């Protein structure tokens, strides 16, 4: 991963002032290993590469310096790149990267995991290569395949490239939106960057708060809806899309949009794929998703929370690498999963490392961490994760593989997904009907001890949740405004099973998690890889019959059976999971003196809830909602109004 930034101007410029402004400290932190810029005139056409004080290109003295205004060409396009070197650590990976014939210039943040296979395909077609980088595969692939390139890539990316032959500028993001790309349209033109802050720094005043986004986050915890941010006028380039800007086009409304991929919308019937075949196909695809994510020229390690997803990824790697794997887990007081993670050693004698007490520094560092995040965030456990990754960085790790994405692909959110899946399965014929009822029976009556409580819970809870949301009696809904986020939450309750899953990919959890994770991982920097976000895994998960995901009282049954030969029973058949948790109530109670004084900040921001929030009451009733209020207030004090 790296940092990219640039612009498409309405009128040509002879100064590099704005591109220098885009190369902010935050963008440079994303790419500590190298830096480069090129300026392009579409009218010419003309292209000129530039060096900065951080350029380590083979012969940087041959390039004019970006601060030498006399050498700045008249241009209307700028491409700037800060490099975090992972594949091909030599100067050959320097960006902006030019194709062999000089016709394509590109900047790229991300990784193309299948670059080895694509390179072989291009080589067989007669393409010559000068480097070992995945960036060259991307650029030469664009020359060979044009817009068909994006569907061939397996990885994550935010790409800006200029095709001199066609006179076209292209912006593209990966299928899921793992790599961020923000943009701002102004009277001067279109500006884009991997972070929000550079888009604020080059204009005065910066940008005000998007009140609907902020209020909706307080109400629901949803954010990043419809490509929005918490800042007015700053949005994200849509995922799974490529936008082509031709001569004279400087706005997204003018660009040609190519939505090159979409999620499957229909599930197979059990008669179309036997369960045993589904298990084998999933296992084979998952192991390959892990295999290609092991490609790195710097040290790589695995997160191991003790849950099914991260353990599955680590187990696949241990098999593929003959146990030459390093794992990290965290002990959290009050929410400790380390004993489960330790059972992994029964099967795999890997390099197993345990970290402790990471949250203690949050009391001191929360203003700094909020600056890294750039926006309010729903889970302070992100800080625990950030500290974990920093320790890994100190120990020489530069790439980390985790288990995020498994719950979305394989319907792991039981409370959210099962009621809708239950209704769907009950209408699918006698076998599906019986499977659904048996799953529900086992799930709710697995022990005599909790049979009565679970019966009451299942009968009443959905109505309580729906009534709370629709009547406005939940804590978040005490904010009076009708926001986009609140509308989405109300609609969610009406969605069938597969549409609920797609909602999390398109609207709610995945866009938020990917953008938030990118911010704190690249604040180190550290590249984060997700085998469960491999598009092939998503396509399989979304096409499997619901009865293959929910069976015999278990969620993610397909994954459990696929990994049955590879995981200890304590992990494989575990019902409760926490991931890398955060003990909200304990922590916010212990640090009340630090956090309670932030609440009055909400009124200054125009975000005061309908009822003035009382710290002690919310601490007891809904500490997660309390944290959302605090997070917005901290952001307002230290970031928005700094």
- Give the dihedral of Cα atoms 375, 381, 384, 388; nearest 10 deg: -90
Given its phi and psi angles, is residue 334 left (phi above 0), alpha (psi -120 to 50 degrees) or beta?
left
Is residue 331 helix, strand or coil?
strand
Tens digit of pLDDT for each residue in 153-208? 999 999 999 999 999 999 999 999 999 999 999 999 999 999 999 999 887 667 89
Q: At what angle do helices 362-373 and 509-522 cross, to 10 degrees?
A: 110
Q: Which residues of 15-28 are buried (b: 16+ CB within 10 A; e: fewer)?
A: ebebbbebbbebbe
CATH superfamily of 3-258: Aminohydrolase, N-terminal nucleophile (Ntn) domain (3.60.20.10)
Instruction: Tell me the three-class secondary structure of 392-442, residue by residue.
Output: HHHCCCCEEECCCCHHHHCCCCHHHHHHHHHHHHHCCCHHHHHHHHHHHHH
Q: What is residue 352's predicted lDDT score, i.e. its pLDDT?
A: 96
| Percentage of residues of the chain with pLDDT beyond 90 | 71
Residues 66 and 49: their CA atoms lie apart, in Å, by: 9
Let me know: does 80 contact 4? Beta carbons within 8 Å.
yes
Dihedral (Cα; 342, 345, 348, 350), 10-degree rounding: 70
Query: Is the pLDDT at 444 greater than 70, yes or no?
Result: no
Q: CA 518 from chain center: how many Å? A: 6
589 touches 578 (CB < 8 A): no
How many Å apart are CA 500 and CA 506, to the nearest integer? Answer: 10
Q: Say how far residue 601 (Cα) sits from the centre of its chain.
A: 29
DSSP letters spanning 124-142 = HTT---SSS-HHHHHHHHH
Res 422 pLDDT > 90: no
The answer to whether the beta carbons of residues 52 and 23 sit under 8 Å apart is: yes
Q: What is the pLDDT of residues 328-350, one digit of tens each?
A: 998 876 667 888 899 999 999 99
Contact by Cβ (8 Å): 1, 109: yes
What secondary structure does DSSP assign to 237-299, as a single string? Answer: PPTT-EEEE-TT--STTTSEEE--------PPPGGGS-HHHHHHHHHHHHHHHHHHTT--SS-
Of 470, 451, 466, 467, nearest in space to 419 by CA? 466
Question: Distances from the Cα of 427 to the Cαs of 410, 432, 532, in angstroms?
Answer: 21, 8, 29
Query: How far apart (Å, rounded) are the C-alpha atoms in residues 281 and 224?
Result: 34
* Domain extent listing, the chain: 3-258, 274-410+502-582, 415-477+489-495, 584-606+620-642
Q: How far apart are CA 286 and CA 532, in angstroms?
A: 8
Q: Mean pLDDT, to the nearest integer, of 411-417?
A: 86
Please name the helix (run of DSSP H) or strand (run of DSSP E) that holds residue 498, with its range, or none: helix 497-506
Please give the pLDDT value at position 43: 86
Q: What is the 3-class SS of 538-600, one letter each residue?
A: HHHHHHCCHHHHCECCECCHHHHHHCCCCCCHHHHCCCCCCCCCCCHHHHHHHCHHHHHHHCC
Model pTM score: 0.92
* pLDDT at 548 exceeding the cut of 80: yes
Pairing status of strand 527-529 against strand 399-401: parallel
* DSSP 8-state symbol, 612: -
- Decide if 542 contacts 498 (C-beta within 8 A): yes
Query: Looking only at Cα atoms, what is the longest distance across the chain?
Result: 82
Is it the case that residue 430 has pLDDT exceeding 80?
no
144: left (phi over 0), alpha (psi -120 to 50) or beta: alpha
Tell me the average pLDDT of the chain.
89
Task: Tell me if 350 sits within 8 A of 323, measured CB to CB.
Answer: yes
Rounded mean pLDDT of 40-53?
92
Question: H or E segment at 625?
Answer: helix 623-635
- Cα(202)–Cα(189) distance, rounded to whole angstroms? 13
Name the fold adopted by 274-410+502-582.
Answer: Rossmann fold (3.40.50)
Q: Which residue has the higher pLDDT, 479 or 354?
A: 354
pLDDT of residue 612: 77
How many CB atoms are located within 10 Å of the residue 133 CB?
Answer: 26
Give, in degrees to the nearest 5, the angle at Cα 248 between 246 and 252.
Answer: 65
Q: What is the pLDDT of residues 101-117, one digit of tens each?
A: 999 999 999 999 999 99
Matching residue, tokens 């659904």? 436
**Among 54, 135, 47, 52, which Cα is nearest to 89's?**
135
* Burial category of 274 from C-beta neighbours within 10 Å (exposed 0-12, middle 13-18, buried 19 and up): exposed
Using one digit for the tens of pLDDT, what is the confidence trace for 305-323?
889 999 999 999 999 999 9
DSSP 231: B
Q: How many CB atoms lie under 10 A from the CB of residue 48?
A: 16
Residue whose tokens read 């926490």 = 578
Tell me what pLDDT residue 567 has: 97
H/E element, 201: helix 197-201
Residue 128 near residue 144, CB atoms below 8 Å: no
pLDDT recorded at residue 45: 83
Residue 79 vs residues 3, 23, 36, 163, 171: alpha-carbon distances, Å: 11, 11, 8, 13, 11
What is the C-alpha separation between 437 and 427, in angstroms, rounded? 12
The dihedrals phi and psi of 508, each to the nearest 5 degrees, come to -100, -90
- Please state the φ and ψ torsions of residue 41, each to the nearest 5 degrees: -105, 115
- Banded model confidence at residue 475, pLDDT cuts 50, 70, 90: very low
């Amino acid at each position: 991963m790296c940092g990219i930034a640039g612009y498409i101007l309405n009128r040509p410029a002879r100064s590099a002032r704005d591109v220098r402004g885009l190369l902010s400290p935050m963008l440079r932190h994303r790419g500590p290993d190298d830096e480069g810029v090129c300026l392009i005139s579409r009218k010419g056409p003309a292209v000129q590469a530039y060096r900065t004080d951080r350029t380590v290109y083979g012969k940087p003295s041959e390039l004019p310096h970006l601060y030498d205004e006399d050498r700045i060409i008249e241009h209307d396009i700028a491409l700037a790149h800060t490099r975090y070197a992972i594949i091909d650590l030599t100067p050959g990976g320097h960006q902006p990267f030019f194709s062999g014939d000089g016709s394509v210039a590109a900047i790229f943040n991300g990784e193309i995991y299948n670059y080895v296979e694509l390179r072989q395909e291009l080589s067989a077609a007669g393409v010559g290569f000068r480097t070992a980088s995945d960036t060259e595969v991307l650029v030469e692939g664009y020359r060979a395949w044009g817009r068909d390139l994006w569907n061939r890539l397996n990885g994550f990316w935010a790409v800006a490239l200029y095709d001199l032959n066609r006179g076209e500028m292209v912006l593209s993001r990966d299928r899921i939106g793992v790599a961020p790309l923000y943009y701002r349209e102004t009277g001067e033109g279109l500006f884009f960057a991997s972070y929000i802050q550079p888009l604020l720094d080059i204009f005065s005043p910066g940008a005000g708060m998007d009140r609907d986004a902020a209020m909706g986050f307080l109400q629901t915890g949803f954010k990043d809806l419809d490509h929005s941010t918490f800042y007015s006028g700053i949005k994200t380039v849509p995922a799974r899309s490529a936008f082509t800007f031709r001569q004279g086009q400087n706005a997204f409304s003018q660009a040609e949009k190519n939505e090159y991929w979409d999620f499957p919308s229909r599930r197979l019937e059990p008669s179309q794929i036997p369960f045993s075949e589904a298990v084998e196909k999933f296992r084979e695809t998952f192991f390959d998703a892990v295999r290609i994510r092991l490609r790195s020229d710097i040290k790589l390690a695995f997160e191991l929370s003790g849950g099914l997803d991260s353990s599955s990824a680590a187990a696949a790697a241990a098999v593929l690498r003959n146990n030459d794997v390093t794992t990290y887990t965290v002990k959290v007081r009050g929410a400790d999963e380390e004993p489960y993670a330790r059972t992994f050693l029964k099967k795999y004698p890997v390099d197993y490392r345990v970290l402790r007490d990471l949250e203690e520094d949050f009391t001191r560092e929360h203003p700094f961490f909020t600056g890294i995040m750039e926006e309010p965030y729903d889970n302070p456990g992100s800080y625990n994760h950030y500290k974990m990754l920093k320790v890994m960085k100190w120990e020489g790790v530069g790439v980390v593989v985790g288990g995020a994405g498994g719950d979305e692909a394989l319907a792991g959110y039981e409370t959210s997904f099962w009621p809708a899946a239950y209704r769907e399965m009950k209408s699918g014929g006698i076998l599906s009907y019986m499977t659904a009822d048996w799953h529900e029976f086992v799930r709710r009556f697995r022990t005599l001890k909790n049979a009565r409580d679970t019966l009451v819970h299942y009968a009443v809870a959905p109505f309580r949740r729906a009534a709370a949301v629709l009547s406005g009696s939940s804590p978040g809904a005490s904010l009076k405004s009708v926001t986009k986020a609140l509308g989405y939450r109300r609609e969610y309750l009406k969605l069938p099973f597969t549409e609920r899953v797609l909602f999390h990919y398109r609207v709610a959890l995945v866009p938020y998690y990917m953008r938030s994770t990118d911010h704190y991982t690249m604040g180190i920097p550290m590249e984060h890889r997700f085998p469960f976000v491999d598009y092939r895994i998503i396509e399989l998960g979304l096409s499997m019959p619901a009865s293959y995901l929910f069976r015999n009282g278990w969620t993610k049954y397909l994954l459990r059976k696929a990994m049955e030969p590879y995981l200890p029973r304590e992990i494989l058949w575990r019902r409760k999971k926490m991931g890398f948790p955060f003990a909200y109530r304990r922590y916010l109670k212990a640090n009340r003196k630090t956090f309670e004084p932030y609440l009055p900040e909400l009124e200054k921001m125009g975000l005061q809830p309908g009822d003035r929030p009382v710290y002690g009451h919310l601490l007891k009733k809904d500490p997660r909602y309390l944290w959302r209020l605090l997070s917005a207030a901290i952001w307002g004090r230290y970031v928005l109004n700094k």
